[in-house]
Structure 1
Amino acid sequence: MRVLFDGPAPVAYGQIYVTSRELPDMSGAFAGQANGLCGAGQAGALFLMTGTHTGRVHFRVEVYDGEPSAAVQEWEEVVEASFLPRAPVVDLVPWGDGSLAPLPLTPQGQDAGRLPVYRVRYCATGMDEGRDPFGGFDPDELDEDDYTYMDQRPDRYLLCLWPEGSTGEGSRAAVPRADAIVRQTSRAAAYWHGWAAGLPPPPTLWEQVEAEMLRRVERERRDQEYRRRDELRRWGGRAPSDRLRQVRGNVHGIAVLDRDLVDGVAAAGAGIQRQIAIWAARRAFTVAGIADLDWMTPAWTALDRGEPPPAEFTEHTALWTRIRGEPPVMFSTVSLRPAGHGPADSLGAVLDAPVDPVPMALPALMAAGESDPLQAALEALWAAVSTYAARRDELLAEVRRAFPVINEPERH
Structure 2
Amino acid sequence: MGIHVRGDDLLHLGGPNQFTGFCGIHTGRIEARVRVLPGPPSAVDAGWDAISEVTLWSPSGRLSVVGLMGGTAEALTDVAVPRGLIRVRVHARDRLHETVRTDDDPPERHELHIWAVSEEAPWRTVLAGPGGRAWEQKPAKAAEWGMLSLVPRPSERPAILPPLPPDPYEDDSGLPRVTVVRHRPAPVGISEGVLPAGDLEVRLARVDDETLTWSWATADEPIFPQPLDALPDDEPSIVRLTSGPDGVTLRHEGVLGRHAFALGVIWEHLLDTVGSYPWMEPLRGQAAEATARAEEARRWKAARDAEQWGGAPPSDRVRGLLGQARSLARIDRPLLDRLDGLPAARQRATACWAARRAMRVAGLERIGWVAEALAAAEAGRPLPQPFSEQNGGAAFHRLLSDPEVPHTIITLHLPARASGTRRVSDVLQQATAFPALIALANDDPLAAAIDAVYNAAIAHGDDRDRFLTEAHAALR
Structure 1 length as normaliser, TM-score? 0.67
Q: Does 1:58 align with 2:31?
A: yes
1:157 to 2:157 alignment: no
The answer for the alignment partner of 1:26 in structure 2 is: 2
Find 1:136's aligned residue among 97, 102, 107: 102
| Alpha-carbon shift at residue 373 of structure 1 (Å) | 1.8
Letter matched to residue 435 of structure 2: P
Structure 2 residue ranges without an equivalent (≥5): 152-196, 201-222, 228-286, 404-414
- Aligned residues: percent identity? 27
Which of 381, 389, 395 is the equivalent residue of 1:319? 395
Distance 2:138 2:23 in 1: 18
- Residue 393 of structure 1, aligned match among 452, 465, 469: 465
CA 1:312–1:117: 2 relative to 1, 3 Å: closer
Q: Distance in 2 between matches of 1:326 and 1:250?
A: 27
C-alpha contact 2:386 2:393 (8 A) present in aligned 1: no
Question: 1:117 corresponds to which residue?
Answer: 85
Q: Which residue of 2 aligns with 1:7?
A: none
Aligned counterparts of 1:234 and 1:80: Cα–Cα separation in 2 = 63
Counterpart residue type for residue 452 of structure 2: A
Deviations 1:123-164 (A, max 9, x none): 11233x22x4474379xxxxxxxxxxxxx9943211111112
Distance 1:303 1:37 in 2: 85
CA contact (8 A) 1:135 1:153 kept: no
CA distance in 2, matches of 1:39, 1:98: 19
How has the CA–CA distance of structure 1 residues 353 and 100 changed in structure 2, closer, same or farther, with 3 Å as cutoff? farther
Alignment correspondent of 1:84: 57
- For residues 246 and 198 of structure 1, what CA distance do their matches in structure 2 show? 52
CA distance in 1, matches of 2:429, 2:375: 23
C-alpha contact (below 8 Å) 1:34/1:196 kept by paired residues:
yes
* Residue-by-residue CA offset, 1:169-224 (whole Å, 9 max, x unaligned): xxxxx21111111112344x42xx51445873423876755146456526799499
- Supply the distance in 2 between the matched residues of 1:347 and 1:295 (Cα, whole angstroms): 43
Separation of aligned partners in 1, 2:120 and 2:395:
75
Q: Distance in 1 between matches of 2:376 and 2:324?
A: 23
Equivalent residue for 2:154? none
Deviation at 1:76, TM superposition (A): 0.9
Q: What is the count of residue pairs matched by the alignment?
A: 328
Deviation at 1:69, TM superposition (A): 4.6
In the alignment, the residues of structure 2 paired with residue 310 and residue 234 of structure 1 have an alpha-carbon distance, to the nearest angstrom, of 34
Give how far 1:99 is off.
5.0
1:203 is paired with a residue whose SS is helix
Q: For 1:357 and 1:196, locate their aligned partners in 2 and report how far apart those are by CA, in whole Å.
A: 80
Q: CA RMSD in A?
A: 3.7
Task: Give the Cα separation in 1 of the matches to 2:344 and 2:47.
Answer: 92
- Residue 390 to residue 203, structure 1, CA distance change in 2 (3 Å): farther
The residue type equivalent to 2:119 in the other structure is V
Q: Please give the alpha-carbon distance, in whole angstroms, between the structure 1 residues aligned to 2:313 and 2:428.
A: 34
- Asked whether 1:345 is paired with 2:440, we answer no
1:39 aligns with 2:111: no
Separation of aligned partners in 2, 1:349 and 1:284: 27
Inter-partner Cα distance in structure 2 for 1:306 and 1:347? 43
Q: Structure 1 residue aligned with 2:122, among 167, 178, 199?
A: 178
Change (3 A) 1:84 1:258: same
Q: Secondary structure at the match of 2:29?
A: strand
Secondary structure of the 2:381 match is coil
Structure 1 or 2: larger strand share? 2
Measure, in 1, the Cα distance between the counterparts of 2:464 and 2:429. Answer: 12
Q: Deviation digits for residues 246-288 of structure 1, max 9, x if unmatched?
A: 6554423223443222112212333332232122222333343
1:292 equivalent to 2:258? Answer: no
Larger relative contact order (Cα-Cα within 8 Å, sequence gap ≥ 6) = 1
Distance in 2, Cα, partners of 1:386 & 1:67: 84
Change (3 A) 1:49 1:204: closer
CA distance in 2, matches of 1:387, 1:134: 90
Cα distance, 1:385–1:98 mapped onto 2, change above 3 Å: farther
Distance change (3 Å), C-alpha of 1:360 and 1:53? farther
Pick the structure with more helix per residue: 1
> Is residue 376 of structure 2 the alignment partner of residue 302 of structure 1?
yes
Find the counterpart in structure 2 of residue 105 from structure 1.
80
